[in-house]
Amino acid sequence: MGRYTGPVCRLCRREGMKLYLKGERCLGPKCPIVKRQPNRNYPPGQHGQKRTRRPSEYALQLREKQRLKRLYGILERQFRRHFEEAERRPGLTGENLLQILERRLDNVVYRLGFADSRRQARQLVTHGHFLVNGRKTDIPSYLVRPGDIIAVRPQSREREYFKVVQETAQSKPVPAWLTRDLETMSGRVVSLPAADQIDIPAINTQLVVEYYSRR
């Protein structure tokens, strides 16, 4: 299965929550989750309005896994690899999984305010606009480590997009495990992200662990 290329707002409606897939639009009144009346906030498609039975335990686990996967914009095979890596590490698998997802280079670029969404950050990374410790890195799934420095390439700073980012990113908060220097258009990984430093919609990672554990 290839990457989803349809309207991303349908994904938010399907999951019944904001996944912040369209950047600033998700924060305004044009967001479909906000715009639609509460009694019309149903999943997309011809069957979205039909009354459904109480979801099974498996359905709840599946929905939670889909929400987390779509929030970070990752396909199933790669998401499964991240879960298996989290499972091998000591500690709680759910917290390990969130930490791995946060450490992805595309997510770090988004957290630093250099992109309006993770989808846009992934495109910027793929196009080679960023350096990690002075080396060009165009792999969105690259996992950063404490002490790593992520910077916009000198050639890319001359582009109009990054000039605008340099002026507007100040209003975007940066998590405590990162630091940002807009003058040099760079950021530094101070530490591994702790559970209370990861700002995402309420997702029960235990249900995700249970989903993969039953297969």
pLDDT per residue as tens, the chain (215 positions): 456 666 666 665 665 666 666 666 555 556 655 555 555 555 655 455 555 667 789 988 998 998 899 889 899 999 999 999 999 999 999 999 999 999 999 999 999 999 998 999 999 999 999 999 999 999 999 999 999 999 999 999 999 999 999 998 888 899 999 999 999 999 999 999 998 899 887 888 999 999 998 76
Q: Are residues 151 and 209 in the same domain?
A: no
Residue the block writes with tokens 């979801």: 55
Q: Are residues 185 and 161 in the same domain?
A: yes
Q: Are residues 212 and 168 in the same domain?
A: no
- The full 3-state SS of the chain, as one line of letters, equals CCCCCCCCHHHHHHHCCCCCCCHHHHHCCCCHHHHCCHHHCCCCCCCCCCCCCCCCHHHHHHHHHHHHHHHHCCCHHHHHHHHHHHHHCCCCHHHHHHHHHHCEHHHHHHHCCCCCCHHHHHHHHHCCCEEECCEECCCCCCECCCCCEEEECHHHHCCHHHHHHHHHHHHCCCCCCEEEECCCCEEEECCCCCHHHCCCCCCCHHHHHHHHHCC
Q: Are residues 79 and 120 in the same domain?
A: no
The Cα 158–Cα 156 span in angstroms is 5
Q: Are residues 119 and 98 in the same domain?
A: no
Q: Are residues 110 and 185 in the same domain?
A: yes
Q: Are residues 112 and 147 in the same domain?
A: yes
Residue the block writes with tokens 């209003």: 171
Q: Are residues 98 and 150 in the same domain?
A: no
Q: Are residues 110 and 147 in the same domain?
A: yes
Number of domains composing the chain: 3
We report the CATH number of the domain holding residue 79 as 1.10.1050.10
Q: Are residues 150 and 162 in the same domain?
A: yes
Q: Are residues 176 and 110 in the same domain?
A: yes
**What domain range includes position 41?**
1-47
Q: Are residues 83 and 143 in the same domain?
A: no
